[in-house]
Homo-oligomer: A and B are copies of this chain.
Amino acid sequence: MTAARESPAGRRATPDEVAGAPAVRRSGPVLLSEVAAHAGVSLATASRVLSGSRSVGEPHRGRVLAAAQELRYTPNAQAQAVARGASNVVGLIIHDVLDPYFSSIAGGVMRQVEERELVVFLASTHSDVDRELEFVQTMRSHRVRALIICGSRTTDRAHNERLAHELEGYAAAGGQAAVISQDRLGTHAVVPQNRTGARALARELCRLGHRRFAVLAGPRGLLTSRDRLTGFREGLAAEGIDVADLQVLHGEFTREGGESLATRLIAQGPLPTCVFAVNDVMALGALAGFRAAGVRVPDDVSLAGFDDIAPLRDVVPSLTSVHLPLEEMGARAAQLALDTEPQTTSQAVKVHAEVVLRDSTRRLA
């Protein structure tokens, strides 16, 4: 820190050029004032030329541009943000870049952000709610102009309130936020039709002749998991299946979670004819678990997931899932946060979920 402080001082003391050593750069970035001096104009003029905020007469204009180029001037975006009172960065909070669900969403967000020539701050919570809260703070402190959170709503009231509170603080400070997969937070929201999708899936599976199901669900506290489970139950009930003895196993929302649940399911005795994993990452884990135990999909058991994540394309058997336009969801959230006037009442976008039957679910004789 002291070093950082001393460097400008030392810099100024250094002669511009050491004789004989050509183009010896002093340390530290080039300042606008240096460009102005080099071009022989005032700071204001240099600033105006470079930011194009007002027209500047040709002789000066050219000189400033030349000087900037020669000195390799790069404006200090932080200082600009402070002076202008507005930054051009967007915050994005997800659980984990490594999870294809989140990276797809991130991809959608990125594309929108790039189109607008903004930059994104990426933070990953690794499913830790406290870090989520913390990151909202961080983003707020960086004065991001828009904040996109792709988390998972929990049933933890206290946490939800704190999050809503943080977001309200962020909004009060002038920021725009959009949340994916959550709602009732007073922000824009992009929410997939988890329940409807799961219901439709249940119907399709029943139409294939399945009657005995098991569900590999996520943590009890996660609303996404709960909604899908509820929808699935509803769908089964609508097909006249007794939901009371539906096997439901709860585990982590990860590949390992799915794998261990599959193992547990196998250990519990006779398999149902069809297993629904509430998300694809778990479904992939389950697939691995089944395979390891010698249980064949779909011959011994049918398997369906939810989300239709990208890696599904290369899995054999191809996995039945409920398709969610993940990239689009990210893009939509970004649009909501970036294109809506602040102070507008927040919008909630419902995202359609569509069942895609593939080879992992077979028709029963």
**Interchain CB contact under 8 A, B110 and A106:** no
Contacts of A61-120 to chain B: CB distance below 8 A:
72, 74-79, 81-82, 84-87, 89, 92, 96-98, 100, 103-104, 106-107, 110, 114, 119-120
**Interchain CB contact under 8 A, B29 and A100:** no
**Interchain CB contact under 8 A, A316 and B313:** no
> CA separation between A335 and B137, bound complex, in Å?
25
Q: Which of A4-12, A206-214, A234-242 contacts B (4 or more CB under 8 A)?
A: A4-12
**Interchain CB contact under 8 A, A120 and B119:** no
**Interchain CB contact under 8 A, B98 and A103:** yes
In the bound complex, residues from chain B placing their C-beta under 8 Å from that of A230 are: none
Shortest C-beta distance, A302 to chain B (Å), equals 17
Shortest C-beta distance, A121 to chain B (Å), equals 6
Q: Is A244 an interface residue (CB 8 A)?
A: no
Q: Is A277 an interface residue (CB 8 A)?
A: no
**Interchain CB contact under 8 A, B74 and A137:** yes
**Interchain CB contact under 8 A, B121 and A121:** yes
**Interchain CB contact under 8 A, A173 and B74:** yes
**Interchain CB contact under 8 A, A72 and B169:** yes
Contacts of A30-89 to chain B: CB distance below 8 A:
30, 72, 74-79, 81-82, 84-87, 89
In the bound complex, residues from chain B placing their C-beta under 8 Å from that of A103 are: 97-98, 103
Shortest C-beta distance, A147 to chain B (Å), equals 13
Q: Is A124 an interface residue (CB 8 A)?
A: yes
Q: Which of A138-146, A194-202, A264-272 contacts B (4 or more CB under 8 A)?
A: A138-146
> CA separation between A120 and B85, bound complex, in Å?
21
Q: Is A159 an interface residue (CB 8 A)?
A: no
**Interchain CB contact under 8 A, B76 and A141:** yes
Q: Is A314 an interface residue (CB 8 A)?
A: yes
> CA separation between A296 and B39, bound complex, in Å?
68
> CA separation between A81 and B4, bound complex, in Å?
11
**Interchain CB contact under 8 A, A119 and B138:** yes
Q: Is A310 an interface residue (CB 8 A)?
A: yes
Partner of A121, one of B5, B7, B120: B120
Q: Is A315 an interface residue (CB 8 A)?
A: yes
**Interchain CB contact under 8 A, B110 and A97:** yes
Partner of A143, one of B78, B97, B123, B137: B78
In the bound complex, residues from chain B placing their C-beta under 8 Å from that of A5 are: 84-85
**Interchain CB contact under 8 A, B74 and A82:** no
Q: Is A293 an interface residue (CB 8 A)?
A: no
Shortest C-beta distance, A220 to chain B (Å), equals 26
> CA separation between A200 and B27, bound complex, in Å?
45
Q: Is A311 an interface residue (CB 8 A)?
A: yes
**Interchain CB contact under 8 A, A288 and B310:** no
Q: Is A287 an interface residue (CB 8 A)?
A: yes
**Interchain CB contact under 8 A, A119 and B114:** no
Q: Which chain B residue shows the least CB distance to A96?
A: B107
**Interchain CB contact under 8 A, A143 and B77:** yes
- Name 25 A/B residue pairs within 8 A (Cβ), A-sorted: A1-B84, A5-B85, A27-B174, A28-B173, A28-B174, A29-B174, A30-B173, A74-B169, A77-B138, A78-B78, A78-B82, A78-B143, A79-B82, A92-B122, A97-B97, A97-B103, A110-B124, A119-B138, A120-B121, A120-B122, A120-B123, A288-B314, A311-B311, A314-B315, A315-B315
List 5 additional contacts besides A119-B123, A314-B315; criterion CB under 8 Å.
A29-B174, A76-B141, A82-B82, A100-B311, A315-B315
